[in-house]
Structure formats: structure tokens, C-alpha cells
Amino acid sequence: MEPTWNHTTVLLQEAVDALLDNAPVAAGTWVDATFGRGGHSRALLSRLGPSARLVAFDKDPEAVAEASRIEDARFSIRHQGFKDLGELPPGSVAGLLMDLGISSPQIDNPARGFSFRFDGPLDMRMDTTRGESVAEWLATADPQQMAEVIRDYGEERFAVQIAKAIAARRQERGPISTTAELAELVAGTVKTREQGQNPATRTFQALRIFINAELEELQQALEASLLVLQPKGRLAVISFHSLEDRIVKQFIAKHSREVYDRRTPFAAPRAMKLKALARIKPSQEEVDRNPRARSAILRVAERTAEA
């Protein structure tokens, strides 16, 4: 019998409330851009009207399989990453939610290779039907490439040492193929670490972000949101680490101000495209209940009616 991997949705009510606040919910199109295990989608469906529809995106085949269990004519799932949001009709979306965290079933299933807590194949792909696994990439990447990825996406100050250790291990005994092998190698290379943090945390984060092009996809999805959201349509984004949150924060800030063209100082400014509404953190009660929520930040913005 296949094990059941449980998932607790982070900032569930806060995200749904932010998306639907003051919005007519009887009709319209809503988007859950990262279905995961469907916590936000199910909560949205429970509050949307009979003529509304909810479109979900996810590139994980297991998430798509979970979505197929939702028997609701208002709901549909696309086996695509949220970078493809731009395929939706312009100005057609009343509300758009992005939950950027990886789901607990992805972390807790050793076969997916996301976690150093369990030994399994070193995969980490969100979409297991395509692309290169982490093990495959580490088998051929040169030390400089590896160091740049681990430094830039993991903010790991020992990135160069880790990259050299991976290259040396590859030459001596062959490529790394399991999560336990990588975690052990990193632990032997990183001599100091923040209290309570596994030495491999930053390296695993970096490789996961890189192999799934997560930050590039986030930037594409945010830009697409400006095209597909209708005036007064809400954007709600939940991030879980500083790299993601920085991109979201800067994107909302950039589009929440009028832009003046210095070459034509007397011309009217270009209208802002977003209105920043809120920054929400999980309550202490939620963090106590679900420690994985502790780093989450929800940012909410509203699409303006451009002049």
C-alpha cells in the first residue's frame, strides 16, 4: 500500500480572505497558480459562487493526480508551471494566488529527493516527467558552476568549498546519486552552521531552486499577472525564503508607483499598475501547529485601472 503524505496549507484563511475581500465571488475566473495538494483551491471553491470558475496550475504529476479527485465542474487543472499564466486571456482573472512553498509530500517522500532527512535518489525535480535531476547535473557541472549556484540560490558562504568537495568526490568515487551522500559530504565540508540548522540546508535549497528554475519562473509569473488580472483583481503571493520574498516585494513596489519619464519632464506620469495592500505573517498559533509556516510571508496587491 502506498504511504499517504499529509500536507498542512500555510496561511490558508489569510490568503483566501485577502483574495476575496470586497470581490464579487458569484462569477469570474480565479487562479490557484500552484495547486500543491489543493488546500487553497478547496477553500476557494467553498466560497466562490456557482458561476465562478477556478483554474489551477501545477507541474508536479502527483499534484495533478490529487487535483483529479476534485469533482467540481467549476474547477480545472493544468499540468503546467505558473510561468505559463500568460496563456490565459488578458484581463480575465479576478484573483490570483501563488503559494511558492514546496508541499510536505514532496519533502517527506524520500523518492522525490528533496530532503536530507531521508535517503533517496537525488532528484528534486518538481516535474518528474521532464528535465535533468540534481544528480545528473552534479555529475557534469564544473566546480565554478556548482559554487555559483550554491552561493547565489542558497546564500551559502562555503559554496566554493562544497563545490570543490563534490568535484573531488566525483573524481575519486564517481558521481553523487543519493541525498544521504550529498548531506554527508556537505556536513564534512561546512565546519560551522547556525544553531539548529543542518549544514546541508542551504545547499539543498540552492540545488532545488536551480534545477526547477524557481526564481526565473516566479519572475515570469509575476509579469504575466499584470496581463491577466482585471482591474481591482487581487494578487496574493506566499513566499518562504528571502530570495523569493525579495523578488515579490520589489515587483509590487516597482509597479505601485507612478513612473516619470525624465526625457519629457512635463508629460503625465505613467500610471501605477498595482496597489500594495498587505504583508501578512503566520500567527504564533499557526507556527506552533505547523513549524514549516514560520518563514512564510504573504504579500497582497490589487491591479489598478491604468489610464
pLDDT tens digits for 115-149? Answer: 888 899 999 999 999 999 999 999 999 999 999 99
Per-residue confidence band for 196, with pLDDT thresholds at 50, 70 and 90: confident
Give the other-Cβ count within 10 Å of 152's Cβ: 15
pTM equals: 0.90
CB of 281 closer than 8 Å to CB of 236:
no
Helices (H), the chain: 12-20, 39-45, 61-67, 104-108, 134-138, 143-154, 159-173, 179-189, 201-211, 214-228, 242-254, 284-289
> What is d(CA 228, CA 230) in angstroms, rounded to the nearest whole number?
6
Question: What does 242-267 look like in DSSP terms, one character per residue?
Answer: HHHHHHHHHHHHHTTS-B--TTSTTS
Is the pLDDT at 80 greater than 70, yes or no?
yes
* Per-residue pLDDT at 135: 97
Residue whose grid cell is 467553498: 46
* Amino acid at position 120, single letter: G
> What is d(CA 176, CA 67) in angstroms, rounded to the nearest whole number?
34
Domain ranges of the chain: 12-104+214-303, 128-211
Superfamily of domain 128-211 in CATH is Putative methyltransferase TM0872, insert domain (1.10.150.170)
* Amino acid at position 262, single letter: R
Question: What CATH code would you report for 12-104+214-303?
Answer: 3.40.50.150
How far, in Å, are 3, 29, 123, 297 from residue 108 at the CA level?
10, 33, 13, 22
**Three-state DSSP class for 202?**
helix
* Per-residue pLDDT at 299: 98
* Per-residue pLDDT at 246: 97
Residue whose grid cell is 481591482: 232
